[in-house]
Amino acid sequence: MAIQLVTDQLSNVLDDKFRNQFVGNFKAIEKALNDLDAAQTTLSSDQNKINQDLNNIKNDNEIRDANVQAIVNILAKYDVPIQIVNGKVVEIEEGD
């Protein structure tokens, strides 16, 4: 919604209409600033939540990778032909 402020249509005489036009302008500006402030608060909150979610995903991935590596290490101790290649668990040929 576009806000039309009274600017060049002001009266040359300082009267009630002139005062009311200025008061109206300030009310419109105040509302727009409050709306922007509320939007900024919401955006900051959303950004913080997204950053936390990304950190959680990163931590989960690190834990998963460590668990997969631990499983591969255990299986390798029992001579199971397995290893991680390019981030994937693969079966290897005996004697490699």
> Do the beta carbons of residue 60 and residue 77 sit within 8 Å?
no
Residue type, 42: T
**DSSP classification of residue 84:** E
H runs (alpha helix) in 1-96: 16-77
27-38 pLDDT tens trace: 888 888 889 988
Q: How far is CA 26 from the centre of its chain?
A: 33
42-77 pLDDT tens trace: 999 999 999 999 999 999 999 998 998 888 888 878
What is the pTM (predicted TM-score) of this model?
Answer: 0.53
- In the chain, the percentage of residues whose pLDDT exceeds 90 is 27
Handedness of CA 32, 33, 36, 41 (dihedral sign): negative
How far apart CA 75 and CA 65 sit, in angstroms, is 15
